[in-house]
Structure 1
Amino acid sequence: MALRTLAPALAALVAAALLVAGCAPIRPVGQGGDATAPAAPVSPEDLDPEATLRFADAVGPSRFDPHRSTIGQDIRFFAPVYDRLVHLSAEGEPIPGLATEWAWEDDGHTLALSLREGVTFHDGTPFDAEAVRANIERAKTVEGSSVSADLASIATVEVVDPHTVRLRLSERNSMLLGLLSHRAGAMVSPTAFDDPDLDLAPVGTGMYRVREYRPNDTIFYERNDDYWDESVVGVRHLELRILPDEVTRMNALRTGEVDLALLSGRLVPEAEALPDITVHRGVTLTYLVLYLNRARSEFDDPRVRQALNHAIDRRSIAEGIYFGAAQPTVQPFPEGYFAHDPDYPGDHYAYDPERARQLLAEAGLAGGFEFEMLVTALGTYVQVGEAVQNMLAEIGVTANIRSVEAAQTADVYYRQQQGDALISQWGGRPDPSMTIELQFTGEGFSNPGRHTTPRLEELHRQALDSLDPAQRRDLIHQAVGEIVDQAFQAPIVSDESVIATADHVVGFETLVTGQINFRTLGARR
């Protein structure tokens, strides 16, 4: 069934809204490192379709079930194996995935999706409208779901015919396309729903299959020869190696053991000095942050939270630990991104220990207090954790550090609600309202204390209801202001993506959310 054409006025409004809702490009500003300019195109005869590309990352997925995954960055491991209903362009705009086209109906209360035909899951199960219905229902109801809140506005999934579905919404949701481009829109074979090995052996429709997964070691992908778009499957095999130590990753790149490696700012000069290596730097939607469980310790008082913000010397961390591959920030969104509110620059909470002590005294804590601070067990985060610990000690606050394995951090802090605070990286989301909802609303999965404010909830609701780009941008900016003024957390730096590639790697690019775009990645003969 062909999707009906929207009324012209609404069609224009929605088209414009999607440019806002779907992550406009981040325009580099200030001192942030710009992404490397794209290389000249490589002719097809110069590509090696039988090649193996090996990428060294710092951490593996929390699990391979996208509906129960607890880490937003898991999407970078899911993308090769799980197609989503909506995909993203490099600039973050929604483009066809398993849905070839879509249209808003009923004044934004229904999203009609036309589905790609002739697609099968890796186990041979057909992909069709019933598979979409089953996936959305499972994602909303499976025990331990981390995306049920993302899909809560979908009241029913109407199967119109084998290749058309309508998502009937209980309320308008302008971030829905962004949601469907992430974990909530990942399609799992319905025959694998109850497979106890799903966390280790994913079954999607993606361009690669997982041949073997050795947790905390290596993920072995192999080309899906039945993929619906042969032109994007660049190599025969992908190997994602999990190497938590950045020096080990650097050495693996130097010796040719890997072809791509995730690095930090301090290793950029060394990597740039290597022959036949290109370093790609760019601002994405990730940021390093001191999360605060506002239902624990002394964090229910905004003066205490503001004191912690004033106690952190962000510039010293950006320069001394990230070596310039980061910019100080006090908000969830980087400069140059449409959701960034310029009224709250990176020095809004100036480094001012005296002001921090004054705020603590006003809160009745002149003698300080102590709390447990979880820190993701990766080199840079540990260094930042120790730096923050020392900075807080200067204002009489004792942060007792407990290290947590990277892949388990989100499960321990969000789901098990251990620890009073956490230093870790927030993984970028395709739509800013996703970040706001997950971290700052009363039902957000990434808000373990469930603390929020009525104003934040109302601003978020209004932003979801709006399909007007300018109005939605203004509402998101107001929500950012509420987040910063209330000091819901202590953002530290917007950190750059730094990935080095060997010269035979072609088509490298990262999406605005930070993950590698495997659909453009290939190898030169």
Structure 2
Amino acid sequence: MKLSPLVPTLAVAIAALLAVAACAPIQPAGGGQAPAEQAPVAPEDVDPEATIRFADAVGPSRFDPHRSTIGQDIRFFAPVYDRLVHLSPAGEPIPGLATEWAWEDDGLALRMSLREGVEFHDGAQFDAEAVRANIERAKTVEGSSVAADLAMVSTVEVVDPRTVRLRLSERNSMLLGLLSHRAGAMVSPTAFDNPDLDLAPVGTGMYRVREYRPNDTIFYERNPGYWDSEVVGAKELQLRILPDEVTRMNALRTGEVDMALLTGRLAPEAEGLPGIVVHRDPTLTYLVLYLNRARSEFGNPLVRQALNHAIDRKAIVDGIYFGAGSPTVQPFPEGYYAHNPAYPGDYYPYDPQKARDLLAQAGLAGGFSFEMLVTSLSTYIQAGEAVQNMLGEVGITANIRSVEAAQTADVYYRQQQGDALVSQWGGRPDPSMTIDLQFTGDGFSNPGRHTTPRLEELQRQALDTLDPDARTATIHEEVGELVEQAFQVPIASDQSVIATKDTIVGFETLVTGQINFRTLGVRR
């Protein structure tokens, strides 16, 4: 059978679905500024010996992709770990370590052709057996955070050294999206039992980690034997971990870093600096008050609806995000195909009296108290305090406990501490991944395991549906169930704000919010 990177005639309908479902481009909404664009730079004008220094707010939870607990860890993994499937900037699945793929057996098997001549950083060969070993490890390793993602993969058949076939127990329309994320990251099998894997990753990526100082700096160096000679790249990346945004801004101002993650508050200041370009890009991440619906009073939908009416989303977007976002009541932003327009950002209008009335209907006229974890970064601390004050106005006491950023997901999801959490949901390359992880009964990011029969049935239909239009309609129904049942309290769809020196070329972000390091370079 002839295979094609764009998925062949064996599954034309699925091809169209996956091209859309992996993540359609998001158009700026709510007055957001379009991403900055630069003129193309010829490869010969890019300095191959350059070092790019980037200031981020947080480091990875761990460098083992199968056990990492934060979705945003993908931005640290991407330079080191190639995935079976990569993503274009708009989010379509494109060849990664798998060069071609085709669906077989009516969508119950995925056959993948693998790239030849690829070595892991430790010299081990990448082949079909390595794929089989990785997927089996991801499904079974103790503490796996991607086992549920791969639950439908019943077996991995090694057809030959360059071909694998993934047999599925049921059709799963988000599989290519899953394989473009942590579940598809390929670790050298010889490093599986390395006790230092959390600090010293071993992948096939364009960069290797030369040194990692937790909570300080990650030093990436170019992989000289990388399979993609078209990648521009720099000789070295230095990722500085600076939780305070003012410190990141000052590092950019003084030239200590070449790129910095900022917020809307500091964007105007950065735009006024000579030689600095500010890139504002809509993303699939969003600020949210997560609810463990098996704890406190959150099992009652009236209470959850009251919480939604108690939050002044626009005040938070304007006062804390400084416009770098837009109010939302659902997981998906305007302009993205999974967004259900029947539920605009003001679907739950700010109405403290309505919130009090709903609490009274729930038998909680006197209010209640709960423990609210807050990720200890300035934006989330400010948002958490705002949420605390707004809930206090309707008689709800939110007792804040700050949690270190890199440990937030482990503490809330895995250890199931806290009744609620104010933090950010990291973008996923397929909307069904977001729904599966956060809202189904087996979702890793659903610590209380609460769901509804309707949501479970709709999710089953979405995963089994191969027609893109029908699948989108089902996802819209799921969004309706999430909003009407008030599974959580979404607050703001995020806008990525990253400032770079004007010598940085090839800057782009994927729809998931991560920087595309494969195109990044420095002008000579």
Q: TM-score category by the smaller chain?
A: over 0.9
Query: Does the residue aligned with 1:285 lie in a helix, a strand or coil?
Result: strand
The TM-score normalised by the length of structure 1 is: 0.98
Report if aligned partners of 2:32, 2:324 keep a CA contact under 8 Å in 1. Answer: yes
Which residue in the other structure is 1:72 paired with?
A: 71
For 2:177, the aligned partner's letter is G
Counterpart check, 1:30 vs 2:30: yes
**Matches of 2:510 and 2:412, distance apart in 1:** 27
Which residue in the other structure is 2:303 paired with?
A: 304
Gap change, CA 1:8 and 1:92, over 3 Å in 2? closer
**Residues 165-215 of structure 1: CA distance to partner in whole angstroms, max 9, x if unpaired?**
000000000000000000000000000000000000000000000000000
**Matches of 1:101 and 1:244, distance apart in 2:** 40
For 1:325, the aligned partner's letter is A
For 2:29, the aligned partner's letter is V
- Measured after TM superposition, the shift of residue 32 of structure 1 is 2.1
For 1:460, the aligned partner's letter is Q
Which residue in the other structure is 1:50 paired with?
A: 49
Report if aligned partners of 1:2, 1:114 keep a CA contact under 8 Å in 2. Answer: no
Report if aligned partners of 1:20, 1:473 keep a CA contact under 8 Å in 2. Answer: no
For 2:56, the aligned partner's letter is D
Which residue in the other structure is 2:114 paired with?
A: 115
Which residue in the other structure is 1:341 paired with?
A: 340
Report if aligned partners of 2:7, 2:102 keep a CA contact under 8 Å in 1. Answer: no
Which residue in the other structure is 2:13 paired with?
A: 13
**Matches of 1:155 and 1:165, distance apart in 2:** 13
Gap change, CA 1:374 and 1:362, over 3 Å in 2? same
Report if aligned partners of 2:156, 2:164 keep a CA contact under 8 Å in 1. Answer: yes
**Residues 464-484 of structure 1: CA distance to partner in whole angstroms, max 9, x if unpaired?**
001100100000000000000
Report if aligned partners of 1:207, 1:233 keep a CA contact under 8 Å in 2. Answer: no
Counterpart check, 1:229 vs 2:228: yes
Query: Does the residue aligned with 1:341 lie in a helix, a strand or coil?
Result: coil
Gap change, CA 1:203 and 1:455, over 3 Å in 2? same
Counterpart check, 1:478 vs 2:468: no
- Measured after TM superposition, the shift of residue 519 of structure 1 is 0.4
Which residue in the other structure is 1:366 paired with?
A: 365
**Matches of 1:33 and 1:110, distance apart in 2:** 42
Question: What does residue range 401-420 of structure 1 map to in structure 2 within 5 Å?
Answer: 401-420=400-419
**Residues 454-509 of structure 1: CA distance to partner in whole angstroms, max 9, x if unpaired?**
00000000000011001000000000000000000000000100000001100000
Question: What does residue range 59-458 of structure 1 map to in structure 2 within 5 Å?
Answer: 59-458=58-457
Report if aligned partners of 2:6, 2:94 keep a CA contact under 8 Å in 1. Answer: no
Task: Name the count of aligned residue pairs.
Answer: 524
**Matches of 1:7 and 1:427, distance apart in 2:** 28
- Measured after TM superposition, the shift of residue 10 of structure 1 is 5.2
**Matches of 1:88 and 1:8, distance apart in 2:** 18
**Matches of 2:471 and 2:7, distance apart in 1:** 21
- Measured after TM superposition, the shift of residue 29 of structure 1 is 2.6
Report if aligned partners of 2:55, 2:259 keep a CA contact under 8 Å in 1. Answer: yes
**Matches of 1:111 and 1:448, distance apart in 2:** 31
Report if aligned partners of 2:10, 2:102 keep a CA contact under 8 Å in 1. Answer: no
**Matches of 1:491 and 1:7, distance apart in 2:** 35
Query: Does the residue aligned with 2:349 lie in a helix, a strand or coil?
Result: coil
**Matches of 1:6 and 1:29, distance apart in 2:** 30
**Matches of 1:165 and 1:187, distance apart in 2:** 14
- Measured after TM superposition, the shift of residue 5 of structure 1 is 11
Query: Does the residue aligned with 1:306 lie in a helix, a strand or coil?
Result: helix
**Residues 51-110 of structure 1: CA distance to partner in whole angstroms, max 9, x if unpaired?**
000000000000000000000000000000000000000000000000000000000000
5+ long unaligned stretches in structure 1: none
For 1:50, the aligned partner's letter is E
Report if aligned partners of 2:6, 2:15 keep a CA contact under 8 Å in 1. Answer: no
Query: Does the residue aligned with 1:339 lie in a helix, a strand or coil?
Result: coil
- Measured after TM superposition, the shift of residue 220 of structure 1 is 0.1
**Residues 347-397 of structure 1: CA distance to partner in whole angstroms, max 9, x if unpaired?**
000000000000000000000000000000000000000000000000000
**Matches of 1:5 and 1:233, distance apart in 2:** 22
For 2:358, the aligned partner's letter is L
Report if aligned partners of 1:223, 1:233 keep a CA contact under 8 Å in 2. Answer: no
Root-mean-square deviation (CA, aligned residues, Å) is 1.3
Identity of aligned residues (%): 81
**Matches of 1:7 and 1:125, distance apart in 2:** 29
**Matches of 1:522 and 1:3, distance apart in 2:** 33
- Measured after TM superposition, the shift of residue 16 of structure 1 is 1.1
- Measured after TM superposition, the shift of residue 133 of structure 1 is 0.1
**Matches of 1:4 and 1:221, distance apart in 2:** 33
Report if aligned partners of 1:6, 1:104 keep a CA contact under 8 Å in 2. Answer: no
- Measured after TM superposition, the shift of residue 9 of structure 1 is 6.8
**Matches of 2:340 and 2:230, distance apart in 1:** 40
- Measured after TM superposition, the shift of residue 233 of structure 1 is 4.5
**Residues 402-444 of structure 1: CA distance to partner in whole angstroms, max 9, x if unpaired?**
0000000000000000000000000000000000000000000
Deviates more, 1:25-34 or 1:438-447: 25-34
Displaced runs of 4+ in structure 1, greater than 4 A?
Answer: 4-10
Which residue in the other structure is 1:459 paired with?
A: 458
Gap change, CA 1:5 and 1:457, over 3 Å in 2? same
For 2:22, the aligned partner's letter is G
**Matches of 2:351 and 2:81, distance apart in 1:** 47
- Measured after TM superposition, the shift of residue 235 of structure 1 is 0.7
**Matches of 1:458 and 1:209, distance apart in 2:** 43
Gap change, CA 1:308 and 1:44, over 3 Å in 2? same
**Matches of 2:125 and 2:19, distance apart in 1:** 32
- Measured after TM superposition, the shift of residue 44 of structure 1 is 2.1
The TM-score normalised by the length of structure 2 is: 0.99
**Matches of 1:189 and 1:220, distance apart in 2:** 20
- Measured after TM superposition, the shift of residue 46 of structure 1 is 1.5
- Measured after TM superposition, the shift of residue 20 of structure 1 is 2.2
- Measured after TM superposition, the shift of residue 28 of structure 1 is 1.8
**Residues 142-169 of structure 1: CA distance to partner in whole angstroms, max 9, x if unpaired?**
0000000000000000000000000000
For 2:181, the aligned partner's letter is H
Report if aligned partners of 1:23, 1:91 keep a CA contact under 8 Å in 2. Answer: yes
Which residue in the other structure is 2:492 paired with?
A: 493
